[in-house]
Structure 1
């Protein structure tokens, strides 16, 4: 592993990350390390913040990529028993004439494991190519209706925190409110939390540690706010943070390496192209650059230590554009923006998120002669290509939320036909498979 990663993570954090990669739960990690589950949670939040991931799946991929853990391919020897998933392999006795068989068996198993991993990546991260008469059946099997929002909502902020999805503020059929709802991923129920005093819409939010940061927003009269609302996730309390340099709403926001990155937005008069960064350690905002264009719609997500930004609309841009932003590059010395392959020109972006190293985009067809249709697309970074995944069984409203968990994408709310929607459904983007250990 590179020296940078060694400095970034402490030995305890690396130890916990290795256990996460084995599939161990917080309770199991706590038992193995003789610490409390709450201590494990704190370590995981710090680890996720440092390496720029939001789930155990992404953390495992990071650990594999950077050599913190080895790929799960058993190496058989005749000297010591091996373990996989905490299940011991039997010790192999050293009898004459057996060494060639062990070597041959190891090669076969290695080839089989590599082939199996290739199939898993091909068929589980993205749906397999199927005959033309089966895609609708496949999509129906992966989509699942979940508990609806207590009230229709659009223009809200949302995030995943531990085993919950949070939805804050936005517009309802009765107007803008500051309600906070928490969805239990295990219980499939919504619970009310302490509301925010800010009554704004067209907001976004990001979590750093145990705090949910929501900057700006649009008031009912269309004017923008310069407030920073901070939600203490553990205490269920709100407080004000440092005000922004100027009012802003309808922006894109992302947490990256312990800081907030806020891209573009509406300042009450026009769409702007500024990039603001907030560092909670210094409690101040700083303008660090510009986005390529002043877009009307912006969506951002972190993949592989860079921030991807999709922009759409504005005075000069009617087709979606994809850009990769490198926050750690020096603007004076390096090019901080890289152009990547755009989504199909016929799509109007509705929402975007990241999961397991891929971007997922919901797009709506802009062809007026076609029936309204929304589709789910994935951006494959390695090949710089977009792939259509599925058609949405239920139309997602504009200014709704697309949130990711360990294996699922959650589609929540939005405005459709001038009405705020209560819709909540999920798409199974990844499958996890427990492979049995065979003892002879």
Structure 2
């Protein structure tokens, strides 16, 4: 695969494999026909196919869908998941419709005045579907040689990498055919404890390298040095949004708050941005549909409002989260609670819509990456690499 498919592209690929036309996909996803055409063209280029049939076969080979009857060779259909990552949500009618009430006015002093005012029902929390994930969904990858607690995983261009950390210049790539980790040529920098990774179709970034201020980008061929962070910044998280790299961190002079720094492609230095107080012990950043969300200790969730230049509270979690990781899965945010352990599906503006209880023998940590329709979740010590064999589907609220 030339480049990792985005969540929207994966969603459209599954619909293409079901035999839907561009117009049908556009109607189902509420987007234009031209937008679907652009996505399909990009998908074909990324997975190196020339037709919808080849794209469907690609989805079959990579386990994204299954064929119900191999002998009859029917069109492939999306495999019904045993435990989908995002569950069906059943919402009360008041959550789906904004009811309008008109109230007649009252007689005021010298005359009769008519006043019509509008109101809406208060938001109602979604029904949380809870289930246990079957142990058969869980597997393990071979452990990394000489595992370290601060080793970090990343997926770029369909390949799974691990950076050893502990001020090492070593990184490895997983070979799916032999199920072994292959040591690559040493990095031109070291990865200390606290460095953060970000990967998307444009590259793989290591932020906080060397003495904590180094920034490097891998384009699939070579490592390129990027403008350095301010010397006193301690990196807490990194994402890329609208083409710009965004770092959340704190400085020695302002240890009680977090600040964002951004690096746009045309910039030669980092620009300080929006403050967040107080500082969080385990901040986690995630990007969903171009919006940055921040999870931290406790029940609160915040989103970055670029119009008002401030962090705005979103719907709270139904539990105090302090130990785990977050990632995005087809239109929702997957919150991993390593303490319970459990997987929670969070939809901005609605809150948590589903919960999956993880078998107690599965030890989770503070990392998660998505690789080949699977969630890779190592434990805190780095000695166990858990694999959750997920089947991604998109679910919408249903009428009760």
Classify the TM-score, shorter chain: 0.5 to 0.7
Indicate the residue corresponding to 1:377 in structure 2. Answer: 344
Cα contact 1:246–1:267 (8 A) shared by 2: no
Alignment of 1:318-357 (within 5 A): 319-326=298-305, 329-330=306-307, 334=308, 336-357=310-331
Distance in 1 (alpha carbons) for counterparts of 2:193 and 2:284: 16
Equivalent position to 1:145, from 136, 140, 145: 140
Aligned length: 303
Indicate the residue corresponding to 1:246 in structure 2. Answer: 231
Distance in 2 (alpha carbons) for counterparts of 1:185 and 1:283: 39
Distance in 2 (alpha carbons) for counterparts of 1:390 and 1:379: 15
1:299 CA displacement: 0.7
Indicate the residue corresponding to 1:427 in structure 2. Answer: 388
- Say which SS state the counterpart of residue 216 (structure 1) adopts: strand
Change (3 A) 1:122 1:413: closer
Alignment of 1:38-117 (within 5 A): 41=2, 53=6, 56-57=9-10, 64-67=29-32, 68-69=35-36, 86=53
1:86 CA displacement: 4.5
Equivalent position to 2:150, from 148, 155, 159: 155
Cα contact 1:320–1:342 (8 A) shared by 2: yes
**Cα RMSD over matched residues?**
3.7
Superimposed CA distance per residue, residues 390-431 of structure 1 (whole angstroms, 9 cap, x where no aligned partner): 21532124xx4210135221112433xxxxx32112112325
Equivalent position to 1:170, from 149, 165, 169: 165
- RCO comparison, higher one (Cα < 8 Å, 6+): 2
Superimposed CA distance per residue, residues 102-140 of structure 1 (whole angstroms, 9 cap, x where no aligned partner): xxxxxxxxxxxxxx99x96996443579xxxx955x421
Change (3 A) 1:143 1:185: same
Cα contact 2:81–2:391 (8 A) shared by 1: no
Is 1:203 matched up with 2:195? yes
Cα contact 2:316–2:351 (8 A) shared by 1: no
Indicate the residue corresponding to 1:227 in structure 2. Answer: 214
Indicate the residue corresponding to 1:77 in structure 2. Answer: none
Distance in 2 (alpha carbons) for counterparts of 1:190 and 1:170: 16
Change (3 A) 1:195 1:320: farther
Superimposed CA distance per residue, residues 204-244 of structure 1 (whole angstroms, 9 cap, x where no aligned partner): 11236553222225x8xxxx6222233x3422x44432111
Superimposed CA distance per residue, residues 35-83 of structure 1 (whole angstroms, 9 cap, x where no aligned partner): xxxxxx3xx57xx7xxxx467425659974532239xxxxxxxxxxxxx
| Structure 2 residues not aligned, in runs of 5+ | 16-24, 38-50, 55-76, 90-129, 394-400
- Say which SS state the counterpart of residue 249 (structure 1) adopts: strand
Distance in 2 (alpha carbons) for counterparts of 1:359 and 1:239: 31
| Structure 1 residues not aligned, in runs of 5+ | 1-25, 27-40, 71-83, 88-115, 313-318, 366-372, 416-420, 433-440
Indicate the residue corresponding to 1:411 in structure 2. Answer: 377
Cα contact 1:274–1:287 (8 A) shared by 2: yes
Q: Normalising to structure 1: TM-score of the pair?
A: 0.59
Alignment of 1:282-361 (within 5 A): 282-312=267-297, 319-326=298-305, 329-330=306-307, 334=308, 336-361=310-335
Is 1:181 matched up with 2:172? yes
- Say which SS state the counterpart of residue 36 (structure 2) adopts: coil
Indicate the residue corresponding to 1:362 in structure 2. Answer: 336
Query: Which structure: greater helix fraction?
Result: 1
